[in-house]
Structure 1
C-alpha cells in the first residue's frame, strides 16, 4: 500500500518509532528520515503551536522525498501548565491528513519554567541530568522514569494512532 514513507526528522528517537510501526503496518516499505523545518519556535508552547509544528514537518517531509506516499511530522511541546506534550501528524499524497497525541506529563517545576521561557527542553534536561544529547535517546520522559519509558517508546503510541484512518479507510470515509 504505502511503499515510501517520509519522516520529517533525523532524530533517531522519532524516526525509529515511525520505522518500527510502519514496517509492521506496511511490510516492505522504505522509510526516509529527512531534516525539515517545523515552522514554529525551537520549543513549541501549547497544543496549537505543537500541532502546527507536527503538520508542517509532515507536509515538508512528504514534499521533500520523491515518490513518498506518506509524510510524518513528530513535534514535542510544553503546554502552558508545564506538561510535556507530543503530537504526530501524518499526511498522505492524496491529501488525507490525521493527527494523534501522545502522553502528557508534568515536568519538574524548574525545568518547566525554563521551557516556558523559550529554552529548548532537550538541552535543559541534559543540563539538569548531566547527560548529553538525551533528546536522541531517553528524552525527558526516559530521564524522569529512569529508563522505564523512553522517548522512542513515547512516540510509538501516537504514531500508531495516527495511522488509523489509513489502515481502515472504510471506517473513516466521510458520510
Structure 2
C-alpha cells in the first residue's frame, strides 16, 4: 500500500531527502511524494532557530490544509544562526502524521547538524543575500540550493544537501517508526501560521 507524503517545497533536494528517509526509516518502498507549494511565513533566509523552526512548522500546517488526505506532511526549512561570532548553517525538519493505535496526530521534529560558514559567504548572507546565492557567488557553483547545497562544496562532496537533510528527517520520523510508544500529540496550528 502506497504512503502519500505531502512535501511542502518544490525543491528537488528536499523531495529526494524525504523519499530516502521515509523509505529507510519506515521501511516503505512505495512512497508517493506530492509537492505542495506553500509559503513558509518567514523570510527567504530565516535567521536563528526560532524563525527557521517556525518556517518548517508553518509549511507543514499549510501543506495539511492544502492536501488533508496525505498520510504525512513534511516541512524542511534551511536557516542560519549566529554563534560566537560565526554564522552557522542548519535546517529544521518537521513531520506531521497519524500514529499509534488511536491514530493520534503526531509531530516529529529534528534539526540538522550545524557547520560554520566561511567569512566570504557569511558576509554576503549578513548583507541580505540568500545562502544559496552567496554560495554560488563565492564557490563558483550554479543553483547549489537545488543540488549540493552549501554543505556539498564545503565538504568536498563528502556530504551533499540530500544526505544532510535525510539524516535529520530520519530522526524526525522516530515517533512514526515507534508507533507502539507514546509521544505527545501534535499541537493545533498556531494562530497566524501560514496556510
TM-score, with length taken from structure 1: 0.92
How many Å apart are 1:66 and its aligned residue?
4.8
Match of 2:48 in 1: 46
Q: Distance in 2 between matches of 1:100 and 1:172?
A: 18
CA contact (8 A) 2:91 2:112 kept: yes
Which sections of structure 2, spanning at least 5 residues, go unmatched? 99-103, 185-195
Match of 2:92 in 1: 87
Match of 1:32 in 2: 34
For these two proteins, the number of residue pairs brought into alignment is 174
Quick one: higher RCO (CA 8 Å, sep 6+), 1 or 2?
2
Match of 1:165 in 2: 175
Helix, strand or coil: the match of 2:150?
A: helix
TM-score, with length taken from structure 2: 0.83
Matched, 1:151 2:151: no
How many Å apart are 1:97 and its aligned residue?
1.1
How many Å apart are 1:91 and its aligned residue?
1.2
Larger fraction in strand: 2
The correspondence of residues 2-81 of structure 1 with structure 2, limited to 5 A, is 3-24=3-24, 25=26, 26-81=28-83
How many Å apart are 1:162 and its aligned residue?
0.4
Which sections of structure 1, spanning at least 5 residues, go unmatched? none
Larger fraction in helix: 1
CA contact (8 A) 2:120 2:138 kept: no
Identify which range, 61-70 or 134-143, moves more after superposition: 61-70
CA contact (8 A) 2:75 2:94 kept: yes
CA contact (8 A) 2:5 2:72 kept: yes
